[in-house]
Amino acid sequence: MSSEGWLYLAVIIDLYSRSVVGWSMNTRMTADLVCDALEMALWRRNFPAGVICHSDRGSQYCSHAYQDRLRTHQLRHSMSRKGNCWDNACVESFFHSMKIEAIHYEPIMNREQLRQQVFEYIEVDYNRRRRHSALGYVSPMDYELKTSA
């Protein structure tokens, strides 16, 4: 939360490399928020077909707009079981890490400052520098470079 109120973040994480490939921020948790994150992920991954997109059961993920985008791009939708945060553990872990590493101990920020802080955490720290035990203690970017060579 910022000094001006809530700022919502939706993320799409590639489970292969743990890279945040799509994300979007807005003052409201809407279908547009998650659709924008999905569009970014699709562009970054060159519009793959047949990929499984997992989410929780939030109304924004059940929306016609999001479901239509999944069908249009030939993506398969998977949803967590009701009330089971463990089904979406990778995303839950990301949000926990972001809060602890980038936001929790920072001074109260306005929305624009918070947007910048989140952008830097995702694009600079998390994807490029943060090491993951599941990846052999390398960053998502280094893992992708290593495994694509």
Please give the radius of gyration of the chain, using alpha carbons only, rounded to the nearest integer.
Answer: 15
Give the torsion through C-alpha atoms of 67, 71, 74, 80, to 10 deg. 30
Task: Please report the pLDDT score of residue 85 as a whole number.
Answer: 67
Give the domains, in start order, of the chain with CATH numbers: 8-148 (3.30.420.10)
CA 126, CA 119: separation in Å to the nearest integer?
10
Among 6-10, 12-16, 21-25, 81-85, the least confident range: 81-85
* For residues 94-117, average pLDDT: 91
Record the pTM: 0.91
> Over the chain, what is the mean pLDDT?
93
Q: What is the per-residue pLDDT across 106-141, written as a single tens digit (0 to 9) for each?
A: 788 899 999 999 999 999 999 999 999 999 999 999
CA 117, CA 98: separation in Å to the nearest integer?
10
Dihedral (CA of 45, 49, 52, 55) sign: positive
Task: Please report the pLDDT score of residue 33 as a whole number.
Answer: 97
Task: Please report the pLDDT score of residue 142 as a whole number.
Answer: 97
> Is the pLDDT confidence value at 149 over 70?
no
